[in-house]
A and B are shown apart, each in its own frame.
Chain A
Amino acid sequence: MIVLIASQLINGVVTGMLYALVGVGLTLILGVLNIPNFAHGVLFAFGAYFFLAATQAFGGFWLGLILAPFGVALLGGAIEYLGVRRLYTAHHDYQLLFLFAIALILQETIVLIWGPVGTTIQPPSYLAGGVDLGITRYPLYRLVVMGLTTAIVVALWLLLTRTNIGAIVRAGIESREMVEVLGIDVQKVFLFTFALGSWLAGVAGSIAAPITGLTPSMGFDILPVTFVVVVIAGLGSIMGAIGAGILIGIAQSLTTIWVPEAANVVIYLLMGLTIMLRPQGLFGRR
């Protein structure tokens, strides 16, 4: 039993870190542009499918891991530049609905290109085995995922706190007007943030693919989870999104042990509970 709980706990952290990456991307876009990105789930799915395409075309796992998220960032940038940008003067409902429409279009594009049936992708053979953790053997690839996601979070933290562009993005979350007053080109900040958020969704999709497999609906499945991450964390809280992601990852995988049917429901109960007890979110200030 202890072994089961321990390995589910690690599983929860691994899934949670992936939720966290997607959630942080959503939080950045939400914080700076003030839009819940309904296309965020589909960008996650594109990360997985671009990764599949890249590894098939070039045969390299690491090359795929660099190219696929970059492709998703370009896609996200294009969505912002060609579409969302035209809607900044409109009510935010319209920006959100536009992104929902884009999500439908991209979702169907996945089916058109890669077909309606799901597929799987194998991690490279040197990452495929298991490791002895003392209490249990554990798949090496999942540990690699944990390391990679941690590295990305640290890099993101450095980007946001140690660079100029990071300071501007953080300022944008605090007060968009203030950034404009300082004479910074807000349009460029929006484009950068949307692309960065998309990149995070894409990288999560890429590294998740060998664990979860690829299905066309994977984007639509993760989108509500991402929203839960943001609501529990509190709008605009970046480090909160990471905490909330890990929290619901663990909650989900521990529920699987005792009440597997409720594993998908428990995170929404946590969300409801958070809103009732602490409406601004666990880490939010507003």
Chain B
Amino acid sequence: MRDRTQFLLLIVALVLAPVLGRPVIAAEILAFAITAVANNMLLGYTGMLSFGQATFFGVGGYVAGLMMVHWNAPLWLALAGAAGGCALLAAAIGAVCVQRVGLYFIMLTFAFNQMFYFIAYSWSSLTGGEDGLAGIGRPAWLRDELRFYILVAVLFLLSLAAMKRIVDSSWGRLFRAVRDNPDRAAATGHDVRRLKLLSFVIAGGFTGLAGALYGLVYGIVPIDSIHWLRSGDIVFMTLIGGSGNFFGPVIGAAFYIWLSETVSLFWDRWPMILGIVFALVVLFLRGGIVEILTRLAGLAKRRAAA
């Protein structure tokens, strides 16, 4: 499938989503979808597995929430603050983490995630601690679920368009060069660490924005938002959708929310299902849902030809 067809399918899905399900759930999916696509810029395009993206998802929620609760900041400023703040935070954390590659990088992002979790947990006067940061009200013109969904959908499209431009640009080509052969990228005169940091900062910024939007969905930033298990969920969404495709993680985010919303209704221990699906995907279906779809499409094409 070409980019254009995929993009048209995405628009159709965006229009249908609030009709088929509750607009708030659709908005929640889109917030996670931005996060997963940003994570895929790291994983799929730059070859960096981060196990700490919840740091930015959570901090984004806290920054926007605190700006709105304490300073009465307008929505746009809170969202910009979350994105900008998380990009800065990603620059600081990334500067330490990109010093090391491979396993080290994964473990460092993971450990820093836990550090920020503990900061959020202990600093309860600011963040609400274990109870989460509650009381984040949407402005009056956004109280209506559908209107809020439309705003999230617009920001989602803008974010995806921006990230698509980045991965198609010369930066994106360099990211892939770093992924495929870091030594060669370095040998041709490119600063591999700086490119990785760049990718990490961009992903952190968009993840912060997504976290801020997520906080607005139910008016609360739960402490789970910043727990490292959330980072695992983000990796799950990215892989289950398909990290080889730009739009794959969007499908992954939708699948994740659908799974959690349906299974959690009748079984408290639903993360076990998550684990089983995850294990099966890693063992047998590394291309994710996108791989199933392309296989089916190939099958249909062959049948049509015969």
Contact = CB atoms under 8 A, between A and B. Distances in A.
Interface of A: 30, 34-36, 83, 86-87, 90, 92-94, 96-98, 100-105, 107-109, 111-112, 220, 224, 227-228, 230-231, 235, 261-262, 264-265, 268-269, 271-272, 275-276, 279
B111 A105 contact: no
B8 interface: no
Given A83-B279, A83-B283, A102-B279, A92 B103 contact: yes
Contact of B104 (A83, A235, A261, A269): A235
Q: Return the 7 tightest CB-CB contacts between A and B, nearest first.
A: A104-B275, A268-B115, A108-B272, A101-B278, A224-B114, A101-B279, A105-B275
B22 interface: no
Contacts of A271: 108, 111
A227 B107 contact: yes
B158 interface: no
A197 B184 CA distance: 36
B139 interface: no
A103 B232 CA distance: 11
A109 B272 contact: yes
Interface stretch (B94-102, B208-216, B249-257, B291-299): B94-102
Q: Which of A92, A102, A265 has the most CB of B within 10 A?
A: A265
B49 A93 contact: yes
Contact of B275 (A36, A86, A101, A111): A101
B272 A105 contact: yes
Interface class of chain A by DSSP? helix
A35 B107 CA distance: 11
A35 B121 CA distance: 30
B271 A104 contact: yes
Contacts of B235: 97, 100
Contacts of B77: none
A262 B119 CA distance: 8
B274 interface: yes
Contacts of A224: 110-111, 113-114, 228
Interface residues of B, number: 38
B269 A235 contact: no
Interface in B244-299: 269, 271-272, 274-276, 278-279, 282-283, 286
B252 to A, nearest CB: 13
B107 A98 contact: no
Contacts of A264: 118, 121-122
Nearest to B49: A93
A129 B111 CA distance: 37
A231 B269 contact: no
A101 B100 CA distance: 25
Nearest to A221: B114
A36 B103 contact: yes
A36 B106 contact: yes
Q: Which of B43, B107, B272 has the most CB of A within 10 A?
A: B107
Given A102-B279, A104-B272, A104-B278, 6 more contacts: A92-B103, A96-B49, A103-B275, A264-B122, A269-B115, A279-B99
Contact of A108 (B108, B275, B286): B275
Nearest to A96: B106
Nearest to A281: B104
Contacts of B122: 261-262, 264-265
A97 B110 contact: no
Contacts of A87: 282-283
A37 to B, nearest CB: 11
B118 A97 contact: no
B115 A101 contact: no
Given A102-B279, A108-B272, A228 B111 contact: yes
A93 B107 CA distance: 12
A98 B283 contact: yes
A23 B208 CA distance: 32
Contacts of B96: 272, 275-276
Q: Which of B121, B228, B229 has the most CB of A within 10 A?
A: B229
B239 interface: yes
Contact of B108 (A96, A220, A262, A275): A275
Given A100-B278, A224-B228, A275 B112 contact: no
15 contacts: A87-B282, A98-B279, A101-B275, A101-B279, A104-B271, A108-B275, A224-B228, A227-B107, A230-B107, A231-B108, A231-B111, A261-B123, A272-B112, A276-B96, A279-B100
Contacts of B286: 90, 94
Contacts of B279: 83, 98, 101-102, 105
Nearest to B279: A101
A275 B100 contact: yes
A231 B272 contact: no
